Amino acid sequence: MTQHYNFAYLDEQTKRMIRRAILKGLAVPGYQVPFASREMPMPYGWGTGGVQVSAACLTPDDTFKVIDQGADDTTNAVSIRKFFEKTAGVAVTERTGDATVIQTRHRIPEEPLTEGQILVYQVPIPEPLRFLEPSEVETRKMHALEEYGLMHVKLYEDISRHGHISTAYAYPVKVEGRYVMDPSPIPKFDNPKMEMAAIQLFGAGREQRIYALPPYSRVVSLDFEDHPFDPSKADHPCDLCGAEDSYLDEVIVDDAGGRMFVCSDTDYCGSRRAAGHRGRLAAEDVA
């Protein structure tokens, strides 16, 4: 494969086109920049937007990490990591701190990212207003006119009907006081982390959009004064590493519906266990 394709698969012209879109995205934080998304050798919906953004960002000196649901060893994360190992020959890692480029689906790592790192999100539907207005022509107009009333009405209706805003993931944010942006389907628990030191790039391949957050951008989850945003998570510590501050997956462990809660961020959990932290069901206790 490496003999037949350019570094990181895409040809240089295409990468340049994507970089232009990324730069424009960084210049107008939260604005969805149309780009000429290419057909990639993995299906739309499998992270083709993120893969194209990563391909445009990677240099031979980079260290690459891929997570899906917070984990490095989910099948699609494995597949994307392998793709860049093959086509770019870059070093790969599972350690959040060691990576220079991290491609993610549905999570932000627990360990705070630092300056010099790039977090690349895979985005299925970049348009936060899509479920309120199906037409792209209309939603682009709404963004241009900063017409976000519809979104506030939706959130208000949630509260009046359920007592809460019933959006648990892909919770909309407002960037730098201007654009309402879809943070991709991360749990709302991750939203506060988006004000970070690293560059955040969002790639939506099928929908042909790239958007970006420069480091330290102001990212506010939409809410109301009397119903402030609540980044909730399962009310448990991790059963493996005991962490109380990490996002947890619920795993069904027996036929009787018994369950355990474990960190969705496998690197975070592993590092904590390596440092001696133990949860309720950590290996020794079980054995």
Partner 1 sequence: MYVAVKGGERAIDNAHAWLAEERRGDVSVAELSVAQIREQLALAVNRVMAEGSLYDPDLAALAIKQSRGDLIEAIFLIRAYRTTLPRFGYSEPVETGRMACDRRVSATFKDAPGGQVLGPTFDYTHRLLDFALEAEGLVEEAATGAPREAETPHVTAFLNAEGLIQEEHVPEDDRPRDLTREPLELPAGRPLRLQALTRGDEGFVLGMAYSTQRGYGRNHPFVGELRIGTVPVEMEVPELGFSVEIGEVVLTECETVNQFTGSKSEPPQFTRGYGLVFGQTERKAISMALVDRALRWEELGEDNVGAPAQNEEFVLYHSDNIQATGFLEHIKLPHYVDFQSELELVRKLRREAMVGEKREAAE
| Contact with partner 1 (CB under 8 A) among 66, 71, 90, 198 | 71
Q: What is the DSSP string of 58-84?
A: --TT-EEEEEETTBTTSHHHHHHHHHH
Would you give the distance in Å from CA 24 to the centre of its chain?
20
State how far the Cα of 101 lies from the Cα of 128, in Å rounded to an integer.
25
| Contact with partner 1 (CB under 8 A) among 29, 37, 87, 182 | 37
Give the pair of three-digit tokens for residue 94: 């599972």
- Could you tell me the smallest distance in angstroms from the CB atom of residue 116 to partner 1? 26
- How would you class 281 by CB atoms within 10 Å of its CB: exposed for 0-12, middle for 13-18, buried for 19 or more? middle
| Contact with partner 1 (CB under 8 A) among 19, 28, 63, 69 | 69
* Binding of residue 73 to partner 1 (CB under 8 A): yes
- The side-by-side arrangement of strands in the sheet containing 219-221 is 179-181, 173-175, 219-221
* Binding of residue 74 to partner 1 (CB under 8 A): yes
* Binding of residue 136 to partner 1 (CB under 8 A): yes
Q: Please confirm, yes or no, whether 263 is among the known catalytic residues.
A: yes
Q: How many CB atoms lie within 10 A of CB 35?
A: 25
For residue 263, report the phi and psi dihedrals to the nearest 5 degrees: -55, 135
Give the pair of three-digit tokens for residue 142: 């709404």
Q: Which stretch binds partner 1 (CB under 8 A): 70-78, 92-100, 144-152, 218-226?
A: 70-78
CB-nearer residue toward partner 1: 30 or 279: 279
What positions carry a catalytic annotation?
Answer: 30, 238, 241, 263, 269
Residues that bind partner 1 (CB under 8 A): 5, 11, 34-41, 43-46, 48, 68-71, 73-79, 82, 105-107, 124, 135-137, 162-164, 166, 168-170, 185-189, 206, 208-209, 232-234, 240, 247-251, 253, 260, 262, 264, 281, 286
